[in-house]
Amino acid sequence: MSLRNTMAKFFSNHAETRDNHWDTSLQTHYYKTTRDKGMGTLEDMFRRSDTYQLHSISKEHGEISVNIKKGKKAFIIATIIMVRPYQTAIDFSVTTESILPFDFGYSTKVIQRLYNEISKELPIITKQDMHR
């Protein structure tokens, strides 16, 4: 990790995932499921938790927005896209609400925690599996 990337990670109040992110923990995760089941799993996970508060759900766009209401406040957008049958990508964008313009990596930790929670409920597809 370069110094520039380290600075960006800790001295920002925002993190988001993408396919080829330099931080492997912020790379898009793919799951062996349909878009509807992926959305349903996320919706259930957020509803069951007292940490999150659902803000809105757009099934047409495959997006769920959520607020973190316990601890540090943050706003999360989850995007669920089925790229192939039973191959669904889940991406996150997290912005921490703070008087400071940075969160010391909190938004990244939120994404890592969300991926860990989802991976307990949905079968993850590795990069090797995707190329088979």
**Within 10 A of 27 (CB to CB), how many other CB atoms are there?**
16
Looking at 3.40.50.620, 3.30.465.10, 3.30.530.20, 3.30.1600.10, the CATH number of the domain 14-130 comes to 3.30.530.20
Digits of tens for pLDDT over the chain (132 positions)? 454 555 555 568 999 999 999 999 999 999 999 999 999 999 999 999 999 999 999 999 999 999 999 889 999 999 999 999 999 999 999 999 987 777 888 999 999 999 999 999 999 997 667 666
Residue boundaries of the structural domains of the chain: 14-130
Tokens 């349909």 belong to residue: 34
- Give the pLDDT confidence score for residue 100 in this predicted structure: 75
- Give the pLDDT confidence score for residue 10 in this predicted structure: 58
pTM comes to 0.89
Q: How far apart are CA 126 and CA 109, in angstroms?
A: 21
Q: How far apart are CA 111 and CA 117, in angstroms?
A: 10
How confident is the model over 59-76, as pLDDT tens digits? 999 999 999 998 899 999
Which has the closest alpha carbon to 125: 23, 40, 29, 14? 29
